Structure 1
Amino acid sequence: MAAIQLVRQVGTGQQLELKAMREVQIADTGVEYLSWSLRETYSRHYALVTLVPGTLLTKQMISSVRPELGPSAARVGLALKAGQFPSGLKPGYRVQVIHAPLQGGSAGRYRVLAPSALIDGVEKPVTGGSPGLISVIVDSTVSPAVAAYASSGEIALAELPASR
């Protein structure tokens, strides 16, 4: 049987890409692995869990509906400068979204706005002084605060490496 094996990591909630798949021949063991002949269809699906290279795909690992984008989720764009986010962030990683006040009476009063936001997109800075553009998926109840604080430079991200 020709099955789909992953050659790249696919984070939770991320779309499977054709370039992350390869064909492998396996024996029929009774496990319902996804067929290589349907790879185009499955390339429009999303990972329900983090999938590592070498994984043979099954239906239980993927969904045609993006799991993070339910009715209570919002996608927020952040323009962050060096020091406001850790290097090496990639789509699928989990982060804390933290309100980090700059000045005034609330300076130094840090507050976690989203304890486990999903990184949805990362664009590297064009020049040293330009911000990194990062999209996060958060609960829609906190998205207005995240957007407002981000617009004034008062958002920081902390990676949750155990959630990769």
Structure 2
Amino acid sequence: MAGDRLPAPPRERKPALAALAALLVLVGALGTTVLVMQAGDRIEVIRITERVPQGQQIPESAMAPVLVAEADGVNYVPWSQRATVREELRAGTDLVAGAVLVGEMLTGEETLGRNEVIVGLSLQPGQFPSGLEPGDSVAAYWVGKPSGGEQEDGGAMRSVLVERARVEAIHSDDGALGNSSLPVTLRVNRSDAPGLARAASDGDVTLVIVPAGDTGSDD
């Protein structure tokens, strides 16, 4: 009949386009899954919170935990190893606040700080305390006889040469028991070295063990 509408042509389906849309949806879902997995794959490592000079031990106060994404080829130091870092290792380079600690920044060797030097002493019995051992903190006193000024103990004057030094090595096992000298190696600040070396060459140095937390002499 003239008034009847012509049938509409059937829609042409495009299977390739439908497959592409499904593939894009799948790729998007996989990408989201990977991102979620990476966000959850984090490790707790050590972050430095204050400057630690090269050669110094890293105190507990200079370490804090931080979460980072685990990455191949990056030797992060886990937070669980902080005790080992504090007690057995030292800064192999200057560490600055905010740096994430990696293994290459640490060393197990006894390295000198920028302002430290090693000084050798040859001490006679009576110039060092009994039981002196490597690792002890000591103060060094000058006990020579000046030409004038205040004197103590029958003409000998005592003044502080070094408020704090660390015994690095003792090179004789029987110096404290016999009459031979005791070679002692000290780690001191660079500014203290000249006076200590002069007094040591004259045999006018006495060592005194001080507490590990001591900040100096009260003289």
Band the TM-score falls in, shorter-chain normalisation: 0.5 to 0.7
Q: How far apart are the structure 2 equivalents of 1:126 and 1:101?
A: 21
- CA shift in 2, pair 1:74/1:162, >3 Å: closer
Residue identity in the other structure for 2:138: V
Q: Structure 2: which amino acid aligns with 1:58?
A: T
Aligned CA distance change for structure 1 residues 129 and 102 (closer, same or farther; 3 Å): farther
Map 1:62-141 to 2 at 5 A.
62-63=89-90, 64=107, 69-102=112-145, 104-105=147-148, 107-124=155-172, 125=175, 128-141=178-191
Relative to the length of structure 2, the TM-score reads 0.45
Contact 1:94 1:163 in 2 (8 A): no
Structure 1 position 148 matched with structure 2 position 198: yes
How many residue pairs are counted as aligned between the two chains?
Answer: 115
Q: Sequence identity, in percent?
A: 29
Give ranges in structure 1 of 5+ residues lacking alignment.
Answer: 1-12, 15-29, 35-56
Q: TM-score, normalised by structure 1?
A: 0.59
Computed over aligned residues only, the root mean square deviation of the Cα atoms, in angstroms, reads 3.0
Structure scoring higher RCO (CA < 8 A, sep ≥ 6) equals: 1
**SS of equivalent to 1:32:** helix
What is the aligned partner in structure 1 of residue 21 from structure 2? Answer: none
| Partner SS for 1:142 | helix
- Regions of 4+ moved over 3 Å: 65-68, 161-164
Which residue matches 1:58? 84
Unaligned runs of 5+ in 2: 1-55, 58-77, 91-106, 150-154, 215-219
Secondary structure of residue in 2 paired with 1:156 = strand
Equivalent position amino acid for 1:94 in 2: S
Mapped partners of 2:203, 2:146: distance in 1: 11
